[in-house]
Amino acid sequence: MQTGHHTYVIQDKYKSLEPFVRSLPEVFERQGTTIYKARNELKAYHTEGLDLIVKSFRKPIFINRIIYGFFRASKAERSYKHALKMLGNGIPTPEPVAYIEEKEGGLLNRSYYVSIFEKDYSEIRSQMLGKDADDVFIRSLARLVADLHKKGILQKDLSPGNILTKQEGEQYKFMLVDINRARFSKQLSARQRYRNFKRISENKDIIGRLAAEYASAMHEDKDKVLHEIEKYIAGFSKNYRL
């Protein structure tokens, strides 16, 4: 749906949220509760009995305004469509509600992505530092990554801040967020798979345990998997600090 300079896409099951979605470009700056703000901003809202997260992507640089305006899907559109694809493949991610694009003269100004707010989930940063990462957690996380890779899905931002978890009894559930840069293919190469771990942790114990469980899930040699994963983590860490 297009109104003026705004394009709105809303999942059919959430059509009742259309007035809220349409109002976002006007009210985002003054309404909602900010939960993260850097290059982009995340705000929480409660409306129609639902808890929602709205991600406002910053205005792109001029050349990217052209690219996103005419040649490539915006980050908001990709977030929405990738979430539908992941859920369709049985990969957990917050359910997409809508996305909005604000354009001027065909060039993209801002875009917004709306999803369900999974309030019970939290980031896995502490576990990836070696705190509270029991064997069940490590095994569950490794199997999640293995499931992604078996299905040809590459979550390029596979970092502790983009993997959310909650514990139910003795089991762990996960959610992947910030998925606009995900890639979908029929099959991933070994290099793509091992390199995908480069941002997940720098704790040697955690890396070793994850590699062993991942190797088991993929039916690969654990020593080779550990060597390859450590190689990419070391390369990323070195380049990141330069």
**pLDDT tens digits, one per residue of 50-68:** 999 999 998 877 687 888 7
What is the average pLDDT score of the chain? 93
Q: Are 68 and 77 in contact (CB under 8 A)?
A: no
Please indicate whether residue 162 or residue 3 has the higher confidence score (pLDDT). 162
Read off the pTM: 0.91
Residue 169: partners with Cβ closer than 8 Å, 6 or more residues away = none
Average of per-residue pLDDT across 165-170: 94
CA distance 185 to 187: 6
**Helix crossing, 204-218 with 135-150: angle to 10°?**
50
Tens digits of per-residue pLDDT, 119-161? 999 999 999 999 989 999 999 999 999 999 999 999 999 999 9
Structure tokens at 102: 């604000």
Tens digits of per-residue pLDDT, 173-212? 999 999 999 999 999 999 999 999 999 999 999 999 999 9
Only one residue has tokens 């205005």, namely: 59
240 CA to centre of own chain = 21
Q: Are 218 and 149 in contact (CB under 8 A)?
A: yes
Query: For a pLDDT cut of 90, what percent of the chain falls above it?
Result: 83
CA distance 103 to 119: 32
Strands 153-154 and 107-116: unpaired
Instruction: Beginning with the edge strand found earlier in the chain, give each strand of the sheet holding 122-123 in spatial order.
Output: 122-123, 163-168, 171-176
Only one residue has tokens 């509600």, namely: 97
The three-state secondary structure class of 108 is strand
Geometric angle at alpha carbon 155, from 150 and 158, rounded to 5°: 115
